[in-house]
Amino acid sequence: MSLYERPVGDALSKRFEAAFMPNYGVPPLALARGEGSKVWDVDGGEYLDLIGGIAVSSLGHAHPALVEAVSRQVATLAHTSNLFLHEPEVLLAERLLDLLAAPGRVFFTNSGTEANEAALKLAVKYGKTNGRTYFVAAENSFHGRTLGALALTGKASIRDQFGPFPVDVRFVPYGDAEALKSAVTEECAAVFMEPTQGEAGVVPPPAGYFKAVREICDANGALLVADEIQSAIGRTGHWFAHQHEGVLPDVLTLAKGLGGGMPIGACIGFGPAGTIFAKGDHGSTFGGNPVSAAAALAVLDTIEKDGLLEHVRTVGAQLADGIAATGHPLLAGVRGRGLWLGVLLTADRSAQVQAAAQGAGFLVNALQPDVVRLAPPLVITSGQVAAFVAALPAILDEAADA
């Protein structure tokens, strides 16, 4: 069957459209199953998955370690609430602190936006006890869709219609240390920053910027909150993206790749920031539930055991270099680190590239009008990367003509 004939998928799309709120529009494909870095749609079409559920499916699909950990845990104890503790959450918190090599305390959530809500509440409390009244974040940043995280999000198109917000957030251009210096005073409670901006188009900071952010926060007593929801857990070839910069934040937020597809997020406070919340200050019924914690432990174990950080650096370079070497006129460049790349176009044709790639059996993401995002499973093979690189010129030709 041709990839363009999708009777089962088309029928599902119609039912989706009728039953769902219109906030997502109707996605272009109904997926049925996956294995490794491959997925199949409901009509049997096969694709190489180069977006991994938006940097989430770190071990790919149906990885035996994840299947085993989740199956075992759900058959043993699926939920405790925070009225009781359980071993998987303790092991996971200890493991994360171990990887971070800094004394800290962990709070588990179910999603990225909730991790940032926790960080924001913690920063509000810090501010209240110190006479600090406002927050700073970057233009074009993305921190989530709930109202607190949205208040920190610098993208006007998704933010403005939902204001005013209960917190005063001031925005500075990303990467401009002088602008940040002017914006942060002793009345600033916290600076929220992505070590590389994800939704803005996979935009790494200029060299030395994150160090400057750390220094500016220290000079004014503001907390530095690093939003690593998209960038952490091996995505860039290190466990955490801030490790590229040699800077430790006061608060770190995680989610996407941590659970390998199971919903889990974390807000981690280092040093004194770990004990700002007192008993009763915050909570989550599902946060850090045993099944998601077991999944996250399987993700971390597998990354370590299979040497995936090294693998990400190798195949990430192969992917970036291979794309750059095609030298296609629609291609303006590639940016990003590891298996987290923004493919820059010379024209606003990312939607056409996404569609042409899908037609050729590759899933990519039209992130900005002129940026295509690649965030494949960390287990993608060198052969699979080579197959995509080989197919890319024809995909770009088709997108240029479409």
Ligand X SMILES: *Cc1c(COP(=O)(O)O)cnc(C)c1O
Which of 109, 354 has the CB closer to ligand X? 109
Among the listed residues 342, 398, 340, 336, the one whose alpha carbon sits nearest the alpha carbon of residue 369: 342
Count CB atoms within 10 A of the CB of residue 48.
23
Task: Tell whether 178 is in a known binding site.
Answer: no
Residue type, 217: C
370 is catalytic: no
The single residue of 107, 108, 135, 142 carrying the catalytic annotation is 142
Which of 113, 140 has the CB closer to ligand X? 113
Q: How far is CA 25 from CA 7, 13, 178, 222, in A?
A: 19, 10, 40, 40
The tokens describing 38, both together, are 């491959």
Contact between 203 and ligand X (CB under 6 A)?
no
| Those residues with Cβ within 8 angstroms of residue 143's Cβ, 6 or more apart along the chain or in another chain | 113, 116, 137, 149, 150, 152, 153, 192, 194, 227
Which of 100, 258 has the CB closer to ligand X? 258
Contact between 366 and ligand X (CB under 6 A)?
no
Which of 190, 396 has the CB closer to ligand X? 190
Contact between 143 and ligand X (CB under 6 A)?
yes
| Those residues with Cβ within 8 angstroms of residue 54's Cβ, 6 or more apart along the chain or in another chain | 230, 256, 365, 375
Least distance in angstroms from the C-beta of 397 to ligand X: 31
Least distance in angstroms from the C-beta of 45 to ligand X: 27
Pairing state between β 265-270 and 331-337: unpaired
Pairing state between β 340-345 and 365-368: unpaired
CA distance linking residue 336 with residue 200, whole number of Å: 12
Among the listed residues 195, 180, 201, the one whose alpha carbon sits nearest the alpha carbon of residue 239: 195
256 is catalytic: yes
227 is catalytic: yes
* Residue whose CB is nearest to ligand X in the complex, by number: 112
Which of 378, 389 has the CB closer to ligand X? 378
Q: Which positions from 244 through 263 interact with ligand X, judged by CB under 6 A? A: 255-256
The tokens describing 7, both together, are 């009777």
Return the residue of 43, 49, 117, 227 that touches ligand X, per CB under 6 A.
227
Return the residue of 144, 204, 288, 290 that touches ligand X, per CB under 6 A.
144
Strand, coil or helix: 37: coil
Contact between 100 and ligand X (CB under 6 A)?
no
CA distance linking residue 238 with residue 233, whole number of Å: 7
Binding range to ligand X, per CB under 6 A, among 74-82, 109-117, 168-176, 373-381: 109-117
* Catalytic center residues: 142, 227, 256
* Binding positions for N(2)-acetyl-L-ornithine: 145, 284
Binding site for ligand X (CB under 6 A): 111-113, 116, 142-144, 194, 198-199, 227, 229-230, 255-256
